[in-house]
A = this chain, B = another copy of it.
Amino acid sequence: MTDGDTMVEVLVPGDVEQRFPGRVAAVSPTRIRVVTVAEDGSAPGATAPKVLLRGFFSSEALRRVLREHPSIEWMHSFAAGVEHVLPELSECGYDGTITNSAGIHAEPIAEWVILMMLAHAKKLPELLEHQRNREWKGERSEELGGKTLGIVGVGGIGNAIARRARGLDMEVIGTRTSGKPTEHIPEMLTPDRLHEMLPRCDYVVVATPLTSKTEGLIGEPELRAMKPEAVILNIARGRVVQTDALVRALSDGWIAGACLDVTDPEPLPSDHPLWNAPGAIVTAHTSGSSPRSMDRVVGFFCENLGLWLEGKPLRNVVDPEREY
């Protein structure tokens, strides 16, 4: 990908360079020249950059960078899901390599999932309400130990969740395209067996990428297949779950709760029925946020940059056919 002799220009977001000065260049000081890219997509000083580390700047900024620098051959995305970037990139005529940060946000997201299952089991929202009312009052609480967790679409995040759930003595089942078991999920099903898994679960976590195959995957039949005391959690993308069906599932008691870090639409309008649907906890697409995230993404990008300089295959390459 590089002839090994010339300097390679790498576009790095200004805030990354500010927080970790020189870290990207340190991958190969003799071969890398870092140029910072501003939030508006301008990159003064860039001549013919080949690599773009895409931070959290806007679509407009992304289009500008790509338009002004057709020399870019490889773009790494801070986000795990790239479903919204793919059409943009093909619009721009970009046909270079794309890598994503799938699995890199797994740790905080897995912690969020454990938090939400425990909050539901121990009725924390109700306990906090008693506290607000200055009432010394308990609630019938459950244990997670012995309960069954089903993970729809096991990848890096699913495995991170499974390891922690098993540490809390839960049983874990999963679905995954290959159907191959992982270290913490000995019982792995292929996605066509989702309906076998759902009625067995006390908690179901949606962790699949959003693709044309998974859009609307969880609808009325899936929600009705769950136990009435079960809870669904979504840390994937809002559109994997059909919102109307979910609202009915909660209102009519098909299931007991929904913990949603992502919703459809997003942000959720203030008059949306999900906000106060029975058993719903809605957080604002922040389960992956962590003070450690940028460090991890930059670390991963630097490793990949090392591979790229050596002409070796990159990790986390997005397959536009598969859509993730």
Determine whether A195 belongs to the interface, using a CB cutoff of 8 Å to chain B: no
Greatest chain B CB density within 10 A among A118, A142, A144 is at A118
Give which listed residue, B142, B275, B286, contacts A139 with CB less than 8 A: B286
User: Complex Cα distance A136/B275, Å?
Assistant: 10
The answer to whether B115 and A281 touch across the interface, beta carbons within 8 angstroms, is: no
Greatest chain B CB density within 10 A among A112, A134, A136, A140 is at A136
Determine whether A31 belongs to the interface, using a CB cutoff of 8 Å to chain B: no
The answer to whether A136 and B289 touch across the interface, beta carbons within 8 angstroms, is: no
The answer to whether A111 and B107 touch across the interface, beta carbons within 8 angstroms, is: no
The answer to whether B164 and A284 touch across the interface, beta carbons within 8 angstroms, is: no
Determine whether A19 belongs to the interface, using a CB cutoff of 8 Å to chain B: no
User: Which residue of chain B lies nearest to A285 when distances are taken between CB atoms in the complex?
Assistant: B138
Known: A118-B115, A119-B115, A128-B128. A143 touches B292 (CB 8 A): yes
Stoichiometry, copies per complex: 2
Chain B residues lying within 8 Å of A270, measured Cβ to Cβ, are: 134-135
Report A101-130 residues with CB < 8 Å from chain B CB.
107-108, 111-112, 114-115, 118-119, 121-122, 124-125, 127-128, 130
The answer to whether B292 and A138 touch across the interface, beta carbons within 8 angstroms, is: no
Report A235-249 residues with CB < 8 Å from chain B CB.
none
Q: Which of the four size classes fits the interface of chain A?
A: 35 or more
A225-265: CB near B (< 8 Å → 1, else 0) gives 00000000000000000000000000000000000000000
User: Which residue of chain B lies nearest to A146 when distances are taken between CB atoms in the complex?
Assistant: B292
User: Complex Cα distance A225/B15, Å?
Assistant: 35
Determine whether A200 belongs to the interface, using a CB cutoff of 8 Å to chain B: no
Determine whether A141 belongs to the interface, using a CB cutoff of 8 Å to chain B: yes
Chain B residues lying within 8 Å of A108, measured Cβ to Cβ, are: 141, 143
Report A287-313 residues with CB < 8 Å from chain B CB.
289-292
The answer to whether B285 and A131 touch across the interface, beta carbons within 8 angstroms, is: no
Give which listed residue, B128, B168, B282, contacts A114 with CB less than 8 A: B168
> In whole Å, how far is A161's beta carbon from the nearest beta carbon of chain B?
12
The answer to whether B267 and A136 touch across the interface, beta carbons within 8 angstroms, is: yes
The answer to whether A119 and B119 touch across the interface, beta carbons within 8 angstroms, is: yes
User: Which residue of chain B lies nearest to A293 when distances are taken between CB atoms in the complex?
Assistant: B143
Chain B residues lying within 8 Å of A266, measured Cβ to Cβ, are: 136
Chain B residues lying within 8 Å of A107, measured Cβ to Cβ, are: 143, 145, 169
User: Complex Cα distance A284/B135, Å?
Assistant: 9
